[in-house]
A = this chain, B = another copy of it.
Amino acid sequence: MSSSVAIQGFAGSFHELAAHHYFGSATTTRPCATFEELVRQVAGGSARHGLMAIENSIAGSILPNYTLLRKADLRITGEVYLRIRQHLLALPGQELAAIEEVHSHPMALLQCADFLGQHPWRLVETEDTGLSAQRIRESRRNGVAAVAGTRAAELFGLDILAADIHTEKQNYTRFLVLAKPEHAPEPEQPDKASLYFHAAHRQGSLAQVLVRIADLGINLSKLQSCPRPGSTWHYTFHADLEFDDPAQLAAALTAIGPVTEKVQVLGRYRRGVTH
C-alpha cells in the first residue's frame, strides 16, 4: 500500500496543485490519464487517496464522476477548492510574435478562447495542461506555447508569455478527496456530508426530502440530479449538506427515511477551503 495520492492528469496539472494544497507539497502523486483510472487506483489499493474534480463554477458538474462515485465503494474524506488561472507558457526567450502553435487540454483551450482567438495560432488538443508544458521543455521546441498554470511554468522552467488569459476570471474547481472505507476514519467534527438518494415515487417526495433537511437547520449547498440506473426518466439525487453539529446529519438521515427509497452517505468531512 502506497501512501500516494492518485490524481487525474500529470505533473504541473491543477489536480496536482490541489493535491499539494490538501496533503502538502511533499506528497507523492500518481498521475492517471482518466478519472476511471484514478478511481481504480484508489479502489485497488495502488494509491491510498484519490483527488478528483467534481464540479467547476462555470462549466458545472462533471456528471460522469458522480456515476464513478456511486459505482466505486469509496468514501469522500474531504474537499478542496482551487481558483483556476491559465497562462501562456513557452521556452525562455520566446516572444509572443514567434508563437505559431498552442497546446493544451481542450477545456483549458476553451477557457481561453477569447484570448487565443485574437491570434492566428494553430490550437492542438492534448491530454493535460501539465503534460503540454513538459513536452515543450523536453522537445525544446521554439514557436510552441502551452496553456497551463504557474505550477507547470515553475516545474518545467517555462516563461509566462501572457498571464491570466482565461476569459471568466472567477473560475473555481472543486475537488473531492477519496479513500477506501478502511482508510477513511470518521473525522472528529465533520460539518459537511455528501449523500445520494432516490426520492420515493410519489408526487412531491423530493420537496418532502428537502423540507425535512431544511427543518433541521441544515444548508443544502448542492443538489445534482443524475439518471437512475436501471430505470428510464427517474433520477437519483446527489446532495451536499452543511451543518454545525453531526447530530443534525444523523437526525436528517432518520427524517428522510420515510420519503426516500435509498439513501447512501458517501462521506462526512470538513468543509474545504479555497486556494
Chain A residues with a Cβ under 8 A of chain B: 56-61, 63, 170, 172, 174, 203-204, 206-208, 210-211, 213-215, 217-227, 232-233, 235
Contact = CB atoms under 8 A, between A and B. Distances in A.
Contacts of A63: 59-61, 63
Contacts of A170: 232
A60 B226 contact: yes
A233 B226 CA distance: 19
A117 B60 CA distance: 31
A220 B227 CA distance: 15
A60 B210 contact: no
A224 B221 contact: no
A64 to B, nearest CB: 8
A233 B59 contact: no
Nearest to A58: B227
Contacts of A213: 207
A79 to B, nearest CB: 12
28 contacts: A57-B227, A57-B232, A57-B233, A60-B225, A60-B226, A60-B227, A61-B63, A61-B225, A63-B63, A172-B232, A172-B233, A174-B233, A203-B217, A203-B218, A204-B210, A204-B211, A204-B214, A204-B220, A206-B210, A207-B211, A207-B214, A208-B214, A210-B210, A222-B225, A222-B235, A223-B225, A223-B235, A225-B225
